[in-house]
Structure 1
Amino acid sequence: MADVGDHYFSAEPGAASRPATVDLVLRDLHFRLETDRGMFSPDKVDAGTRILLDSVPRPPREGNLLDLGCGYGPISLTLAARAPEATVYGVDVNQRALALAGRNAEAAGLNNVRFGLTEEIPAGVTFAAIWSNPPIRIGKQALHDLLTLWLPRLQPGGLAHLVVQKHLGSDSLQRWLTDQGWSTTRLASRSSYRILEVQARER
């Protein structure tokens, strides 16, 4: 069994550094991204992330946008490029990934994105949209706690889009969200992935 330090959801990964690059090629964007061991999908942009970025409507043009579990930044950079007048926040626990995400944003010339730990995002900041390939492997309760922390920060009329593999619990997650009072629909389904669209609660 791998040491917990090797998990992408560790604050300080124990895996020895082995820098690499991957390409994210979308119909409207092309990024070359620095990656490293000890973070999520370092050898290629994860299929779920690509499906999310190909399937979800364009983000709001203005306001604050959130990438929950940003890793080395493919979702954050896409949000920042597609909504240049918005401010994008990328949140993760993995400090090695956060450092690379910042470098990737700088290399792409995107100055409207901020990366940090949960506690570094001001409590009063709310979001017009949340996009996420959530860290399913942290466990069901931890995932529920994570979503319970961030989904209430959606602004009225805001939407969260989550990509989850079917065999990793997309349908049960949809049921849980609905049971918690979040109006949740399946926006798209491709391969074994589901895109869940979660509406902000009325206040």
Structure 2
Amino acid sequence: MDPVDDAHYFDDDPTVASAPLAIDVVLPDTAFVMETDRGVFSRGHVDSGTNLLIRADLPLASTGHLLDLGAGAGPIALAMALRSPQATVWAVDVNSRARELCLRNARRNGIPNMQVAAPGDVPPEIRFATIWSNPPVRIGKPAMRALLLEWLTRLAEGGTACLVVQKHLGADSLQRWLQLEGFPTKRTASKTGFRLLAVAPRSL
């Protein structure tokens, strides 16, 4: 993959030239076509961490509000929306090109229950029954921890979150930090250098 494809995928407005590329995503229980692009994470394929998450046997609410935090082109949000058609799935990303891709991908696959938004455009009163995320570790530890605190505090009572994080990028230390912050967290899977971390709402 061209190293500029993912360059600055956490920028609000990528300046790298657009070069859309559509891929087929086939999961055991569903499938969809997804357009990817340069300047958005993981052009031309579903990355290993996201692939682990969307193929895992994870709890997923069938109704209410669900969140894909750091949605990119939307593979997690699309999988959630197809599996829970009665729920509203929020695909949230700072990257404007990523949000455009999410919108196009929802339309392409005939998915009516996805809401695409910048972080500041999600109504503050919404609480999420399920949060799935391949968080943007490369924005740096302080920024990523602040991001996770902001959104994990919006887990509904009885809700669940799942984060996929590379071991060598701090998955184990992140798990310990979440525990210290009051979020019960356990590792549910480990494969190809990635950890799946299941996170429960913050303890009172």
TM-score, normalised to structure 1, is 0.95
User: Runs in 1 of length 4+ with deviation above 2 angstroms?
Assistant: none
Cα separation, 2, equivalents of 1:56 and 1:96: 30
For 1:45, the aligned partner's letter is V
Cα separation, 2, equivalents of 1:172 and 1:22: 34
Question: How far did 1:7 drift?
Answer: 0.5
Cα separation, 2, equivalents of 1:154 and 1:19: 34
Question: How far did 1:119 drift?
Answer: 1.0
Structure 1 partner of 2:148: 147
* Per-residue deviation, residues 123-180 of structure 1 (Å, max 9, x unmatched): 0010001000000101000000100110010001111100011111100110111111
Question: How far did 1:31 drift?
Answer: 1.2
Structure 1 partner of 2:23: 22
Question: How far did 1:6 drift?
Answer: 3.3
Question: How far did 1:201 drift?
Answer: 2.1
* Per-residue deviation, residues 46-91 of structure 1 (Å, max 9, x unmatched): 1110100111424111110000000111000100000011000010
DSSP-derived class of the 2:125 partner: coil
Cα separation, 2, equivalents of 1:197 and 1:111: 28
Cα separation, 2, equivalents of 1:106 and 1:112: 10
Structure 2 partner of 1:130: 131
Structure 1 partner of 2:91: 90
1:103 equivalent to 2:77? Answer no
Question: How far did 1:105 drift?
Answer: 0.5
Question: How far did 1:202 drift?
Answer: 4.2
DSSP-derived class of the 1:158 partner: strand
Assess if the C-alpha contact under 8 Å between 1:156 and 1:202 holds in 2. Answer: no
For structure 1, the residue ranges without an aligned partner over 5 or more in a row are none
Cα separation, 1, equivalents of 2:58 and 2:182: 23
User: Which shows bigger deviation, 105-114 or 52-61?
Assistant: 52-61
Cα separation, 2, equivalents of 1:155 and 1:11: 28
1:181 equivalent to 2:187? Answer no
Structure 2 partner of 1:158: 159
Assess if the C-alpha contact under 8 Å between 1:87 and 1:113 holds in 2. Answer: yes
Structure 2 partner of 1:76: 77
Cα separation, 1, equivalents of 2:59 and 2:188: 14
Assess if the C-alpha contact under 8 Å between 2:185 and 2:198 holds in 1. Answer: yes
Assess if the C-alpha contact under 8 Å between 1:65 and 1:86 holds in 2. Answer: yes
1:49 equivalent to 2:28? Answer no
Structure 2 partner of 1:10: 11
Cα separation, 1, equivalents of 2:57 and 2:122: 25
User: Which shows bigger deviation, 105-114 or 24-33?
Assistant: 24-33
Cα separation, 2, equivalents of 1:196 and 1:202: 17
> What is the RMSD of the two structures over their aligned residues, measured on CA atoms?
1.5
Cα separation, 2, equivalents of 1:138 and 1:56: 28
For 1:126, the aligned partner's letter is R
Cα separation, 1, equivalents of 2:154 and 2:40: 26
Cα separation, 1, equivalents of 2:11 and 2:49: 21
Cα separation, 1, equivalents of 2:196 and 2:57: 8
1:169 equivalent to 2:170? Answer yes
For structure 2, the residue ranges without an aligned partner over 5 or more in a row are none
